[in-house]
Structure 1
Amino acid sequence: MPLVVVGISVLILLFLMTKLKLNGFIALLLVAVGVALVEGVSVEKIPDVLAEGVGGQTGDTMLVVGLGAMVGRVMGDSGAAQRIANRLVDAFGLRFVQVAMVVTAMLIGVTMFYEVAFVIIVPVAFTLVRVTRKNLLWVGLPMSIALSTMHSFLPPHPGPTAVAATFHASVGHTLVYGLFFAVPFGALVALVWPRLPFIRKMNPTIPHGLVTERVFDEDEMPGTAWSLLVALCPVVLIAGAAVAKMAVSASNPVLPVVAFLGSAPIALLLTLLLAVWAFGPRIGRGLAEVSASCTSSAKAMAMILLVIGAGGAFKNVLVEAGTSDYIKDLTHSWPVSPILLAWLVAVILRIALGSATVAVVTAAGVVQPLLAGSGVHPELMVLAVSCGSIAFSHVNDPGFWMFKEYFNLSVLDAIKARTTYTTVLAVLGLGGVLAVEWTLDALAL
């Protein structure tokens, strides 16, 4: 039974990494090979499945994570990240540094992928930790939770947008309905979770090499305007492209250029070039010194990218073994409401496969026939599937490994922190969808 195999493989992975202290990259590949053999994937095909999984995952994330890390390190080594951190502290005060991170993450995360927004904001979070001497999770966890909420719940992110097309739902209406509960629920969890006793017991250190350890004097840091300009450059480019895609006709000849400039890798590459000049020759630092910052960040990212890639291999083996098809056949005839079924199928697929994108697309295909004649607003079906896809992020989710490595956590601590908050967000999201459905039905009476 595929779900039993998934459960056993997760337990073996935890044993290898927690008890035997095996490197995460090696452990993930070993378990992926074992699952492939048990599920009947042909021996000669296994290397290609692993390579496809690693390539697909790192192809999506390597440019974003690599360029983002370089931008962050250049900003950190020049003092720009500390300048922004100081301004956030000045604006919100030390007591409300978490609120500052939530507001920043939500504003940036509305239109940006979790991974892209994460690598842009995390240098500021690291600097805030150094400046305020707060626990890393006290500052960083609210940021991650807010970004997860925006990325998973709302269009124009890829999962919700793809499902909106399946259900023929309005992307604009889906965004409006989702904002009603995504913002309050995301902020609530972001501010509560770091205060929980099992989180407060964790005290990870900032990973070496991702941020400078130097504390700058006031006159050594670049100005606020330039620091914010570089930090917000990818946000403006990516958000602008997302807005243009929704507001401009597809036949408009300018749209391909806007889409090119607003793609995450290009936006980050342009930002890196701007950062190299703005925090290099413009302020009297040589290009060799700035290039050294880029190189040091790349070295620090090597193992993180390997682990993320191995997580992609594990996920791809599960997909290749037909786990999603098994779950689709299992759940398509369950006698429950379309909204609840959409959410449940997405949750099960997320637990089994790790991929939120596969979960939302497959779940949408399962419940789409039930939408006709049900009277359910298609936008609510989109939100139900999207909310379910965030649940139970664990070891078969490459995003889990990114969270673990950046926050320098053990596997068990990462499960305690991330798996719990993603599951609570999914449950609260379902409640929000049902509340919006009740409100719309009441207004229609």
Structure 2
Amino acid sequence: MPLVTVAFGVILLIVLITGFKLNAFISLIIVSFIVALALGMPVGEIVTSVEAGLGGTLGHIALILGFGAIIGRFIADAGGAYQISMTLIDKFGKRNVQWAIAASSFIVGIALFWDVAFILLVPIIYMISKELKISITHFGLTLAGALVVAHSFLPPHPGITAVTQEYGADLAMVLVYGIIIAIPTIVVAGVWFPKINKKWIPSAFEKTGNSEAIGDQKVWELEETPGFGISVLTAIFPILLMFAAAFLDISQKQWGFDDNLAIVIIRFVGNAPVALLISLLLAMYTMGISRKIPMKDLTASAGASINAIGLLILITGGGGAFKQVIIDGGVGEYIAGLFDGVTISPILLSWAVAVIFRICLGSGTVAALSTAGIVLPLLSSYPDANLALVALATGAGTAFASHVNDPGFWMVKEFFGLSLKETFATYTILSSVASIVGITLILLMDTSVILAGVAIAAILVAAVVFHKIEGARNKKQLMKDIGA
């Protein structure tokens, strides 16, 4: 009974990680061997399967994760992330500070992994909430929502990058679709939701934050940091290169022109590892050399970033090993047989499976790779499936219902000073809202690009109207207070 065996493996994984506090990478490898044996795989093939899954997963994304981490570290250490956040907040104004936080968190979240970006930006949120005398939860949920969306939908983050590779989707197209879907999702989950959520659980929005958890942070002077324009350019440069390659491919399919030297070069530099390597060199110059930072300091920053994500890379590889065992053990084929003759959207299926794994395992990266083990064998039955949207649907599923087995859940709880109940009622629901909005837009895009465009436009127009109404209501209340 393959499904029972996989369910047993998932339960065992949860017990090892949460019950025995065993390292996630070690737990994944142990469970991979046990599940392989339980599925009846020949003993001589188990090690080969585990090695193939680990190596196959890391063979492509290790470069992306490594380069992405170093770029993010350069930007953070130079104060570029601080510059982006404070400049946007200044330009948007105090009345629009929530939108500024959403925009800056999204930009920074593209370059930095979730936990790094969160720890880096929380002190800024804390400072703003203290100055404006508004609960840190209000702005903090906007920060968390933008980071969850960036982490789940956009390369070079590990989960979405890994499943893009596993499904054989085009990484540049995943990035293009991902940004189109991410922006309205952030509006709903990061901007609207906190305002609505405040009515459900007002006690959570009376918090002032946990100053002990935030601790003493480095105080930047804006004149000491790189300029806003160069900071943003450095953060999004790999996206620009990959966007150029994706636009070229779309245009070539549309108009059918032949390759030439310029096209070959654009396609080469738009390849994810090359784009990130070029961007790393740019970041080394803009965030370091041009600011007279010694090369030994840049080397130390690069080394520290690699050390910080070393375990993440291993966990990603462990998830790949578990995925490969599921495939080689025949589970995918068994499930494909169950769905033989049944019409079901591979996009909706991948989202649902990812949601189940996310709830069970906590780690979005492991959930994404485990989902690939189930969904990948089914894709052969859907030759016309848009693989980029299938990958994004998997990413959307990995955002669902962050709870006690997710480190991010505890970071939100501690930094914002929330109770367990309040964290469930705020961040857990927020992550679920982001997941549901994301999959809805993905399904619409798969059905009709025009319909998806109308839905996205409607969300953005509604956001403007909502903002105007909210502003008028706040102004009216202010005048009433002044009169009183």
TM-score (norm 1): 0.71
Cα distance in structure 1, aligned partners of 2:281 and 2:338: 51
**Number of matched pairs:** 396
Q: Is the 8 A contact 1:53 1:309 kept in 2?
A: yes
Partner of 1:295: 303
Cα distance in structure 2, aligned partners of 1:366 and 1:59: 27
Q: Is residue 235 of structure 1 aligned with residue 239 of structure 2?
A: yes
Deviations 1:312-364 (A, max 9, x none): 11111111112221111111223xxx5x4445544566557844666666444
Partner of 1:9: 9
Deviations 1:119-157 (A, max 9, x none): 3797665433221225666513323225635779x9xx9
Pairing of 1:50-69 with structure 2 (within 5 A):
50-69=50-69
Q: Is the 8 A contact 1:69 1:119 kept in 2?
A: yes
Per-residue deviation, 1:22? 1.0
Cα distance in structure 2, aligned partners of 1:95 and 1:317: 53
TM-score (norm 2): 0.66
Partner of 1:168: none
Partner of 1:372: none
Deviations 1:385-427 (A, max 9, x none): 56754464399xxxx9xx85899689x9999579845752466
Deviations 1:283-329 (A, max 9, x none): 22211112111111111111121112111111111111122211111
Partner of 1:365: 380
Deviations 1:244-285 (A, max 9, x none): 122133533332221221122222222222222223232222
Per-residue deviation, 1:69? 1.3
Gap runs ≥5 in structure 2: 127-135, 358-366, 414-419, 453-484
Per-residue deviation, 1:56? 1.9
Cα distance in structure 1, aligned partners of 2:165 and 2:430: 20
Partner of 1:428: 440
Partner of 1:253: 261
Pairing of 1:256-295 with structure 2 (within 5 A):
256-295=264-303
Partner of 1:131: 124
Q: Is the 8 A contact 2:57 2:317 kept in 1?
A: yes
Per-residue deviation, 1:33? 0.9
Cα distance in structure 2, aligned partners of 1:357 and 1:204: 38
Pairing of 1:151-230 with structure 2 (within 5 A):
184-185=184-185, 187-191=187-191, 213-230=217-234
- Equivalent position amino acid for 1:303 in 2: L
Of 143, 148, 163, which residue of structure 1 is paired with 2:147? 143
Pairing of 1:31-70 with structure 2 (within 5 A):
31-70=31-70
Deviations 1:85-139 (A, max 9, x none): 2122223456756644655688x79xxxxxx945379766543322122566651
Q: Is the 8 A contact 1:393 1:422 kept in 2?
A: no
**Secondary structure of the corresponding residue to residue 233 of structure 1:** helix
Pairing of 1:336-375 with structure 2 (within 5 A):
338=343, 340-343=344-347, 345-347=349-351, 350=354, 354-355=368-369, 362-367=377-382
**Secondary structure of the corresponding residue to residue 260 of structure 2:** coil
Partner of 2:471: none
**More off after superposition, 97-106 vs 70-79:** 97-106
Q: Is the 8 A contact 1:394 1:419 kept in 2?
A: yes
Deviations 1:28-74 (A, max 9, x none): 11111111111112212212211111112222322112111111111
Cα distance in structure 2, aligned partners of 1:44 and 1:193: 52
Gap runs ≥5 in structure 1: 110-115, 165-170, 369-377, 441-445
Per-residue deviation, 1:365? 3.1
Of 119, 140, 157, which residue of structure 1 is paired with 2:112? 119
Q: 1:161 to 1:35 in 2, by over 3 A?
A: closer
**Secondary structure of the corresponding residue to residue 261 of structure 2:** coil
- Equivalent position amino acid for 1:220 in 2: E
Partner of 1:113: none
Cα distance in structure 2, aligned partners of 1:62 and 1:329: 34
Cα distance in structure 1, aligned partners of 2:99 and 2:30: 41
Q: Is the 8 A contact 1:159 1:361 kept in 2?
A: no
Cα distance in structure 2, aligned partners of 1:262 and 1:221: 29
Q: Percent identity?
A: 25
Q: 1:429 to 1:295 in 2, by over 3 A?
A: same
Partner of 1:393: 398
